[in-house]
Amino acid sequence: MIIAPTVAAGFTLATVIVHKRWANRKQVLDHDHALIQLLLAQNTKLAADNQDLRDQLNACWDAHRMTNERHLSQVIELQAEVSTLKHQISELQRQDAVKRQRNDDDDEVQDDS
């Protein structure tokens, strides 16, 4: 019978096609797996780089904060000095006014004599 060899050839052909498709799918899966591994490695590196950048940023913020605190302390000290100088100026102006008044009074006494 001719049908039997034809059916056998058909099964053989079907088996070859299935194996070929399986081999292609396995190759695609292997490629996908390699790509996933590469992406995971890149993600891990990016995460480490990101953490390094965060650490650097935090260090910069800490330094900036410390500088601001130092500057604020200096500003407070300078404001205290300005206040002290204003008081000294006021006292000197008061003393000068008293001296001028005494001089004016002395001049009037001398003019009267």
Which range, of 31-35, 52-56, 70-74, 76-80, averages the lowest pLDDT? Answer: 31-35
Band the pLDDT of 18: cuts 50, 70, 90: low
Domain membership flag for residue 113:
no
User: Does the residue 99 lie in any domain?
Assistant: no
pLDDT digits (tens, 9 = 90+) for 21-57: 777 888 888 899 999 999 999 999 999 999 999 999 9
The number of distinct structural domains making up the chain is 1
Asked if residue 93 belongs to a domain, the reply is: no
Residue 5 token pair: 């060899």
Banded model confidence at residue 102, pLDDT cuts 50, 70, 90: confident
Q: Give the pLDDT score at 37.
A: 96
In a domain, 106, yes or no: no
Terminal C-alpha separation, the chain:
164
Find the domain containing 13 and state its range: 1-83
C-alpha distances (whole Å) from 100 to each of 78, 90, 103, 106 are 32, 15, 5, 10
Q: Is residue 55 part of a domain?
A: yes
